[in-house]
Structure 1
Amino acid sequence: MAERIDRRRAICIMAAAAGLPLLGLAGKAHASEAPVVWTGQALGAPATLILNLEDRTKPERLIRQVVAEIARLEDVFSLYRSHSALSVLNRDGAIAAPPADLVALLGASRIFFEASGGLFDPTIQPLFSLYARHFSAPAADPAGPLAPALESVLAQVGFDGVLVDADRIAFARPGMALTLNGIAQGYVTDRIVDLLRSEGITSCLVNMGENRAIGARLDGSGWRIGLASTEMATSPDRVVTIRDRAVATSSAAGFHFDAGQRFGHILDPRHGAMPERFARMTVVADDAMTADALSTAFSLMSEDEIGRQVERWPDISVDLVALTGASVRYGRRL
């Protein structure tokens, strides 16, 4: 089913830089003299922890805590768990006594919605569903959904129609629905970082769909993150080094609704599917949620608009690859 394929990131951790294989360890923690590596899933995306620990009695307990926290947050944000808070909200149009994490994430989403002039908008889920239904149908028109159908769905989009407080979340218009795929993985990454820091971890790389480093590696060097335009890339087009920073990448090549690859999953809330602007959009920020949300919004902007936005976010860096292959960088030096 097309809607279940939502991978838009194309970040690969540099295994060689960490000195570790990152495959074949799913769901396990390995304690040895080397760092502890765990791999699993978070919100449908591959998840990885690389932990440097002096206390070798901690890994199994820490991994259990991380897995439990991931499961708890999936019960809030997952589109594919029918009992999740997000699924209940989308199905019923309202939810009473919402989880604090959902209230917090929607509050942050409003900040990014307003700062981006509405380009970051979690209410695009009806648009995603429209394109998925259209191109899943037999003999689907390769030109995409008809204009009346698109206009009808666009009327359901707009984060200004999401009413949020600690007691209730509700939609102002019928047919509205949310997807948090452009921000939730960053939020989950940040919550796992908070958990590990509370346990005294000072050297770790957390990847819950987005990457965030705690401190440096044990030798004092930074964590190296490889950037690529597709998940299938065999080598990165750029490597960034981070300490106590987060990295998020959006790529239009991550998923297309159609075989002709004209209609990508990064949707403009004003118009629907739009021509791709960039091969890769990477944002480095102090936290993964900010990097995640801005990499989504910037993918819909021109280079001039991105440059102006960077002035509003002085602590971020942007590293993008244009469709021509040219690299452009803004903000803090990577």
Structure 2
Amino acid sequence: MVGAISRRRFIRISGAVAGLALAAPVRGAASEAGLVVWRGTMLGAVATMKIHHRDRGEAERLISAACAEARRLERLFSLYLEDSDLVRLNRSGILVDPAPEFVELLGAALRYAELTGGMFDPTVQPLWELYANHFAKADADPSGPDQASVKAALACVGYDRLSVSRDRIVAPKGTAITLNGIAQGYITDKVVDLLRSQGIAHTLVDMGETRTIGARPDGASWDVGIADPELPERTQAVLQVVDLAVSTSGAYGFRFDPAGRFNHLFDPATGACGRLYRSVTTIAKTATAADALSTAFSLMDQMPIQALMSPAGIERVHLIDAAGSVADLVA
């Protein structure tokens, strides 16, 4: 396989610190008085928090609290922690007395599945496993898994197969759930809620998806640079964001094969990989919505995307199609 386990990181935040290993808060530039920056990783993706606060000690306390909350939620939703609630559910097919946040997030995933006619589907994990196992072989057929195998995997896909209640979550045999298309946004929103409750009014939070609290302290917008999918070191567009969330999905974020024909964006109806766009960027009030819909819109034509923007709470969509043409849709 080509690429890392985590999904894409296409969004470049103006002034944000590049993510490394988990690190203690570091001082911001002298021109940004009262700024404390934390950098690290969360759910396998680069994570950044920029908190503006007069009291550095209080800012560091809030960052520690936010990271602890994010780690707690990661232990619920991660596919890569053997003792996570999600891994236990996929292993046994049932999760008794699930955490309220697990029920809330899976409920949101099912609502977006209904809204998009199944284009967002948290049960596509069998397709991921099929493609990952196929291309892990030294003699893998470059044309991908055979149609019989794809059909067998698709028989286990379908969000309507899940039973979700406050008491238990049940998935039939063969069904496996991934929350990678929505969990980062949800965690980002929870961190924002925590910081807001503590009086923070000017902050950028990126827990794999990006959301801002208010504007910068000087009243200016946060500038979000969208990388050119073909030349990621180059900015293709700059979006001005105030109190909004931004998420980008794209086929090149994870490639199973060296040729890049097969990626992590699966069509739940056919089992094929999305190739309509090089990248899809969504702007919304919440990172949960932006995250889920950037995934679903990657599989949809422009007209149905436009029709769903208002019902889905998406304010703007920035598209770069397979030919490199750019379109901006506004709700």
TM-score tier, shorter chain, comes to over 0.9
Displacement, 1:313?
A: 3.6
5 Å-filtered alignment, 1:163-312, equals 163-171=163-171, 173-230=172-229, 233-312=232-311
Q: Does 1:316 align with 2:312?
A: no
Q: Which moved more, 1:231-240 or 1:67-76?
A: 231-240
The Cα of 1:249 is off from its aligned counterpart by 0.4
Report matched runs for 1:105-120 at 5 Å: 105-120=105-120
The Cα of 1:4 is off from its aligned counterpart by 6.1
**1:137 — aligned with what?**
137
Q: TM-score, normalised by structure 2?
A: 0.94
CA distance in 2, matches of 1:5, 1:165: 30
SS at match of 1:57: helix
Within the alignment, does 1:76 sit opposite 2:76 as a pair?
Answer: yes
* Residues 231/50 of structure 1: CA separation in 2 closer, same or farther (3 Å cut): farther
| Aligned mates of 2:187, 2:256 — CA distance in 1 | 26
1:133 positional shift = 0.1
Displacement after TM superposition at 1:2 (Å): 7.0
Partner residue, 1:93: 93
Instruction: Please give the secondary structure, in 2, of the residue aligned with 1:182.
Output: coil
Instruction: Report the residue type matching 1:111 in the other structure.
Output: R
- How far apart in 1 are the matches of 2:216 and 2:73? 28
Taking the aligned partners of 2:107 and 2:169, their CA distance within structure 1 comes to 11
Match of 1:29 in 2: 25
Q: 1:297 to 1:68 in 2, by over 3 A?
A: same
Where structure 2 has 5 or more consecutive residues not aligned to the other structure, the ranges are none
Letter in 2 for 1:298: F
TM superposition shift of 1:61 = 1.0
CA contact (8 A) 1:9 1:231 kept: no
TM-superposed CA distance for 1:234, in Å, is 1.2
Shift of 1:34: 4.7
d(CA) in 1 for partners of 2:252, 2:222: 26
Distance 1:25 1:200, change over 3 A: farther
Q: Distance in 2 between matches of 1:283 and 1:4?
A: 23
C-alpha distance after superposition, 1:195-219 (max 9, x if no partner)? 1111110000000011100011111
Q: Encode CA deviations 1:145-182: one digit per residue, 9 max, x unaligned.
A: 111111111000000011000010001x3111001010
- Cα offsets for 1:66-97 (capped at 9, x unmatched): 12111101110000111100000000011100
Unaligned runs of 5+ in 1: none
Identity of aligned residues (%): 44
Cα deviation for residue 274 of structure 1 reads 3.0
Q: Show the counterpart of 2:67.
A: 67
Q: Is the 8 A contact 1:211 1:248 kept in 2?
A: yes
Q: State the TM-score, normalized to the length of structure 1.
A: 0.93
- Aligned 8 A contact 1:29 1:38 in 2: yes
The answer to whether the Cα contact below 8 Å between 2:19 and 2:40 also exists between their aligned partners in 1 is no
Total equivalences in the alignment: 327
- SS across alignment from 2:235: coil
Look up the equivalent residue of 1:71 and give its one-letter code: R
Alpha-carbon distance change, 233 to 50 in structure 1, aligned in 2, over 3 angstroms: same
- Judged with a 3 Å threshold, the aligned counterparts in structure 2 of structure 1 residues 150 and 249 are, in CA distance, closer, same or farther, namely same
Cα deviation, residue 128, structure 1: 0.1
Q: Could you give the per-residue CA deviations for residues 197-245 of structure 1, whole angstroms, max 9, x where no partner exists? A: 1111000000001110001111110111111244971121001111110
Number of the residue aligned with 1:11: 11
Q: Tell me the distance in 1 between the aligned counterparts of 2:124 and 2:17.
A: 37
Deviation at 1:59, TM superposition (A): 2.1
Q: Is the 8 A contact 1:124 1:267 kept in 2?
A: yes
CA distance in 2, matches of 1:117, 1:34: 46
For structure 1, which segment, 305-314 or 272-281, has the greater mean C-alpha deviation from structure 2 after superposition?
305-314
Displacement of 1:113 after TM fit?
0.2
